[in-house]
Structure 1
Amino acid sequence: ALQPISPMYTIAAAFGNVHGVYQPGNVQLEPEILGAAQKYIKEKEGLDTDKPVFFVFHGGSGSSAEDIRKAISYGVIKMNIDTDTQWSYWEGVKEYITKNHDYLQGQIGNPEGEEKPNKKYYDPRMWIREAENYTVKRLVEA
């Protein structure tokens, strides 16, 4: 055991999770594996706590809310959702471009008039902010 180093452990255990993006239903999580691991470690080490280790959920993008809840109940304290946050960032940019398409065709000239400037639409701070807002929304869901 690692007791001499620290009583706190964080483990990135595999329970059906995979990195990347897959069609719904292709990834079958088995969070119960985490519960079984907790029980085994508790018994093997003679510990009092029901959750002697912490788990990191790698490859969590696209997981169902139910599987996430189960994983948390078995000791997951950190979940990686990089693929989901990448998509949400892109989705924010995509939606901004779609919404403001007619204002992003040139520096001057838009539906409001041929002489109207478009600087506030193509300013990176505007579309990056929209991307960030979409990412924040995804993080709140997580």
Structure 2
Amino acid sequence: ENFAAQVKELREMQEALGKAKKDLEDQKARRAEEKKSLEEELGKLQSAMAPAEGKPDSVRGLTTRAQLVERIQQLGEGVFKAAQHSWENALTQIKIANPGLEFSTEGMGMLRKMVDGQIIIPDQYKQMEADEEEEELDEEDNGEEGHEEGHGKSDG
């Protein structure tokens, strides 16, 4: 009886051990598949984040759309400021090259264009032009106040 009970217990333990081994192998297989899947996903993400060939240095390292949009806005502002500087530089050169020539720059601007013999502001630039004029007025007001104060000190 005791021997039969021990044999039965041994068989049950062998069955449990066999089942545990099978479960372990199944888990190993699932983990291997999961690891392979994660490695593939990681590879895709890394390639998506890697700089593309020919990608400008100015956008290298940007990983989100928001960062890219912000950088594009910064670059656009830089281009606008460069164009503005070029416009002012051209006017200054004309004045210096022609000291005896008097001409009016009223109504002229870097955002304007000629249409049917008239200088116009294209619709897409009207708000920008208004903002620019407002900034210039603010700068003139601030500059004149400082200038007047300077005269007062030297006169007194």
Shorter chain as normaliser: what TM range?
under 0.3
Q: Per residue, is there more helix in 1 or in 2?
A: 2
Larger Rg over CA atoms? 2
Q: What's the TM-score, normalizing by structure 2? A: 0.26
Q: What's the TM-score, normalizing by structure 1? A: 0.28
Q: Per residue, is there more strand in 1 or in 2?
A: 1
Higher RCO by CA contacts (8 Å cutoff, separation 6 or greater): 1
